[in-house]
């Protein structure tokens, strides 16, 4: 019997590789897919909880933008204990949210969490002490990224933070090639074969657009953030904390 939760989406040779979408098939295998594809994913999620413990303010809001199945939100709930606040977990994939809803129902009796199906471009942000973009900005149209970050900056309270985690690119072609080589070694070590790696890469090519660390710093500054600090990097995956 095959394990339904194991990601085998790109294991067979496909005549045509369609653009990647967060549909039911992806939702079913997502925890396995992201853990085997994103180096340091578990660390980023765990530290999101730690940072929430440090920075979430009483009577404020937390926004988990592109929440997928809610991993970051669950880590936040661990980190903030009984603090009074509202956690808005937002994703525009109905299938991902359906799965998040059933995880939430299974794992907790929380009433502080609201799951919302919408495009983060349309999310209103206010009274926030923590906004999370864990591997989500990379899927937003390039022209809409600055507008989104400006909105987040405006909606943060003084002392509030944005956690921004992304796959990045490197301006130096040698660095770019080496980082991709190491990322692919990570995927192979996690059981993906060369066919799966190459078909997934084609599927993501037009959908996930990574930028350089410098581009991220520049845009965060332009959006109004006082500073942004890199706290995590593993190959071509990073996480930053940006402060109001
Ligand atoms: C985690 N943060 O487990 N509006 C809302 N949601 C969006 C949009 C959009 N415009 N574009 C993409 N998404 C999660 C992982 S996954 C990262 C985030 C990955 C959603 C999309 O439906 C998906 O659930 C999520 O962003 C990206 O920490 O798969 O590499």
Residue-wise pLDDT tens digits, 97-143: 999 999 887 766 788 999 999 999 999 999 999 999 999 999 999 99
* Three-state SS at 227: strand
Q: With b meaning 16 or more CB within 10 Å and e meaning fewer, what string describes 19-40?
A: ebebeeebbbbbbbbbebbbbb
pLDDT for 117: 97
Give the residue-averaged pLDDT of 147-151. 98
Please check whether residue 35 lies inside any domain of the structure.
no
Q: Which of 37, 68, 152 to mutate to test ligand 1, by most ligand atoms within 8 A of the CB atom?
A: 68
CA of 72 to the centre of ligand 1 (A): 11
Tell me which residues have their CB closer than 6 angstroms to ligand 1. Answer: 22, 34, 45, 66-68, 71-72, 90-93, 96, 119-121, 134-136, 139-140
Q: State yes or no: pLDDT of 240 exceeds 70.
A: yes
Q: Are 206 and 9 in contact (CB under 8 A)?
A: no
% the chain with pLDDT above 90: 83
Counting the structural domains of the chain, the total is 1
Give the residue-averaged pLDDT of 183-198. 93
* Three-state SS at 171: coil
Please check whether residue 75 lies inside any domain of the structure.
yes
pLDDT for 82: 81
Q: Give the mean pLDDT of the chain.
A: 94
How, if at all, do strands 156-167 and 237-243 pair? Answer: antiparallel
CATH number of 107's domain: 3.40.50.150
pLDDT for 135: 98
CA of 171 to the centre of ligand 1 (A): 25
What stretches of 92-225 show up as alpha helix (H) in DSSP?
94-107, 142-155, 173-189, 194-204, 213-222
CA of 63 to the centre of ligand 1 (A): 13
Q: Tally the C-alpha atoms within 13 A of residue 244's C-alpha that lie toward its C-beta.
A: 17
Q: State yes or no: pLDDT of 147 exceeds 80.
A: yes
Q: State yes or no: pLDDT of 211 exceeds 90.
A: yes
Q: Are 41 and 80 in contact (CB under 8 A)?
A: no
Give the residue-averaged pLDDT of 48-65. 97
Burial class (CB in 10 A: 0-12, 13-18, 19+), 109: exposed
Q: State yes or no: pLDDT of 57 exceeds 90.
A: yes
Range of the domain at 223: 41-169+207-243
Q: Identify the weakest region by mean pLDDT among 41-50, 149-158, 161-170, 187-196.
A: 187-196
Please check whether residue 136 lies inside any domain of the structure.
yes
% the chain with pLDDT above 70: 98
188 alpha-carbon distance from chain centroid: 22
CA of 182 to the centre of ligand 1 (A): 24
Please check whether residue 26 lies inside any domain of the structure.
no
Q: State yes or no: pLDDT of 186 exceeds 70.
A: yes
Please check whether residue 72 lies inside any domain of the structure.
yes
Please check whether residue 127 lies inside any domain of the structure.
yes
pLDDT for 1: 46
Q: Distance (Å, rounded) from C-alpha 194 to C-alpha 172?
A: 25
| pTM greater than the 0.85 cutoff | yes
Burial class (CB in 10 A: 0-12, 13-18, 19+), 211: middle
Q: State yes or no: pLDDT of 17 exceeds 90.
A: no
Please check whether residue 199 lies inside any domain of the structure.
no
- pLDDT top residue among 23 and 108: 23
Instruction: Name the closest-CA residue to atom 20, ligand 1.
Output: 66
Helix axes 94-107, 24-37, angle to 10 degrees: 70
pLDDT for 172: 98
Q: State yes or no: pLDDT of 238 exceeds 80.
A: yes
pLDDT for 108: 65
Please check whether residue 106 lies inside any domain of the structure.
yes
Give the residue-averaged pLDDT of 141-168. 98
Structure-derived torsion over alpha carbons of residues 187, 190, 194, 199, reported in degrees to the nearest 10: -70
Give the residue-averaged pLDDT of 13-28. 90
């Amino acid at each position: 019997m095959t394990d339904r939760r194991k990601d085998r989406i790109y294991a067979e040779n496909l005549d045509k590789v369609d653009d990647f979408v967060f549909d039911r098939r992806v939702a079913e295998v997502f925890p396995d897919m992201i853990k085997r594809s994103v180096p340091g994913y578990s660390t980023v999620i765990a530290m999101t909880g730690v940072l929430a413990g440090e920075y979430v303010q009483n009577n404020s809001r937390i926004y988990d933008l592109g929440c997928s199945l809610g991993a970051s939100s669950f880590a936040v709930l661990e980190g903030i204990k009984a603090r009074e606040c509202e956690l808005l977990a937002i994703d525009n994939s109905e299938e991902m949210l359906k799965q998040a809803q059933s995880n939430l129902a299974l794992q907790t009796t929380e009433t502080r969490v609201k799951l919302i199906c919408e495009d983060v471009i349309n999310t209103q942000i206010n009274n926030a002490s923590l906004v999370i973009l864990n591997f989500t900005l990379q899927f937003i149209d390039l022209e809409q990224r600055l507008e989104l970050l400006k909105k987040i900056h405006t909606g943060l309270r003084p002392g509030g933070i944005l956690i921004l985690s992304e796959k990045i690119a490197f301006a130096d072609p040698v660095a770019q090639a080496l980082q991709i080589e190491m990322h692919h070694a990570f995927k192979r070590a996690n059981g993906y074969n060369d066919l799966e790696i190459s078909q997934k890469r084609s599927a993501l090519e037009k959908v996930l657009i990574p930028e350089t660390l410098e581009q991220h710093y520049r845009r965060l500054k332009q959006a109004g953030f006082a500073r942004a600090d890199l706290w995590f990097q593993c190959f071509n995956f990073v996480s930053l904390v940006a402060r109001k």
